[in-house]
Amino acid sequence: MNAGAKSAPISIRRIVATALPAAAAIAVFGTFYGAGAGKILGASLTIASSLFIFSGALQFALVALVAAGASPLPLLLAAATLNLRHLVLGAVLRPRIGGSRMRRTGSAFFLVDETFGFALAAGNAAERDGQDTQAAAERTLLVAGALCYLAWQLGTIIGVLGATLAPVEGLAGAIFPVLFIGLAALTATRWSHTLRAVAAALLTAGLALAVPDLRTFAPLIAGVLAALPPGDR
């Protein structure tokens, strides 16, 4: 860590340029959410869910449960279990993120898989460049988070209004694996990290195929298991 350095922080323009492809893909999936959820929850609750929850995986799961006639308890349990990953993401990010408790309280709202990755990558880049790593990570979480948040809201509203972005669904679907591969490459700073990443990917595939019900949690389980063995080469 180099939290005490005084170099210029990462620019907002650079953060936006980095996060833009992910935000575009998030907007596309937002339209699918808006179109699907609008018919089940109604327009106002659909838009409110995106405004206040801001979690694609959870929101899609909630709509599926509501459509299946689930009572409030399963919905709350789904929220609790699907959100478990945030605890791990937050714990990983905590030592790398600066700012006061108040600022972290605000930026925590934007903690999703993609913004977690951008924040970590920005911290790593700042460390290489001799800049303030914690400020870079915090600023990136906030700016990339706001961008992805706006994209999710825009997509939801477009979907609720009945418009479709189906022609670019394939391209949007390709952005996420590419993005996560890129983030894995950026954060694999040692050979052991690369080996752990490969092991985690294989473990994820094995878990998802062997226990399909665990598919949502497989990345988290595999990521944690791959990180546990000691040693850093």
Partner 1 sequence: MSPWLLAAIALITYASRAVALVVLPRPSARVEAVLARMPAPIFASLAMSTLIGDGGALAGGPILWAAAGALLAAPQRSLALCLIGGAAGYALAALLS
Least Å distance between CB 64 and partner 1?
11
Q: Select 31 or 54, whichever has its Cβ closest to partner 1.
A: 54
C-beta closer to partner 1: residue 130 or 163:
130
Q: Which is nearer to partner 1, 43 or 227 (CB)?
A: 227
**Shortest distance in whole angstroms from residue 110 CB to partner 1:** 8
Indicate the residue among 80 and 163 with the shorter CB distance to partner 1: 80
Question: Considering the complex, what minimum distance in angstroms separates the CB of residue 126 from partner 1?
Answer: 14
| Shortest distance (Å) from residue 145 CB to partner 1 | 10
* 187 contacts 120 by C-beta, under 8 angstroms: yes
Looking at beta carbons only, is 139 or 163 nearer to partner 1? 139
Tell me the H-state helices in the chain: 12-41, 43-52, 56-67, 72-82, 84-93, 101-107, 113-128, 133-160, 169-187, 191-210, 218-227
Q: Least distance to partner 1 from the beta carbon of 28, Å?
A: 14
Contact 55, 82 (CB under 8 A): yes
What type of residue sits at position 53?
Answer: I
Q: Are 142 and 42 in contact, with CB atoms under 8 Å apart?
A: no
Q: Could you please report the per-residue DSSP string of 75-135?
A: HHHHHHHHTHHHHHHHHHHGGG--S-HHHHHHHGGG--HHHHHHHHHHHHHHHHTTS-HHH
